[in-house]
Amino acid sequence: MSLALIDYGAGNLQSVRNALKAAGAEDVVVTADPDAVRHADRIVLPGVGAFAHCMIALTAIDGMVDALNDRVIAQGHPFLGICVGMQLMAEAGEEHGRHQGLAWISGTVRRIEPTNPALKVPHMGWNDVVPTRPHPLLQAGEAYFLHSYAFEGTDVLAQTDHGGPIVAAIGRDNFAGVQFHPEKSQRYGLALLSRFLEWQP
């Protein structure tokens, strides 16, 4: 089983690769090659930084978005988005203006506005992950978050709380995304990655 970990200059690739290997992945290919994505059994899209920067970097790789749409949407291979990699699944993000996303899931990524002014943004550190409906990848637990913007829309799989509910995971069919960092979430994160490696949507 081959796994493509997409390198578009916007993710902590080594940490994610190490976590995938620790979770049981044997063939992890860190790649910026759309052809490698088209032949991968599973795909992981990490992401750190601003939505716009990440989307621009992804679309700057000739053929990469088409390869993702072909392999994930058309052919149904398992996909996991991490942090901004999850946010890019949305229709749009509003960080530094409004920018189009992959539009796999209806919704928009907006700045977190806690109801309690004492709570700071970014939302940083360990927090609960509370599934909103059953899903093979998600279990209740604690994970590590670091983000200032959050998804608002459909197909929510889990929430957390930071001065109000915040989406912690989204997905449907064969693709899912998590706002938290599995590679920084110790046992909880490795267990999620292990389930992703076994997932047969």
pLDDT digits (tens, 9 = 90+) for 31-82: 999 999 999 999 999 999 999 999 999 999 999 999 999 999 999 999 999 9
Q: Which residues of 91-129 are buried (b: 16+ CB within 10 A; e: fewer)?
A: ebbebeeebebbebbebbbbebeeeeeeeeeebeeebeb
pLDDT in tens, 37-47: 999 999 999 99
Q: Which CATH superfamily is domain 2-198 in?
A: Class I glutamine amidotransferase (GATase) domain (3.40.50.880)
pLDDT in tens, 19-33: 999 999 999 999 999
Q: Give the catalytic positions in this structure.
A: 83, 181, 183
18, 20, 32, 173, 181 from 36: Cα distances, Å: 20, 18, 8, 22, 24
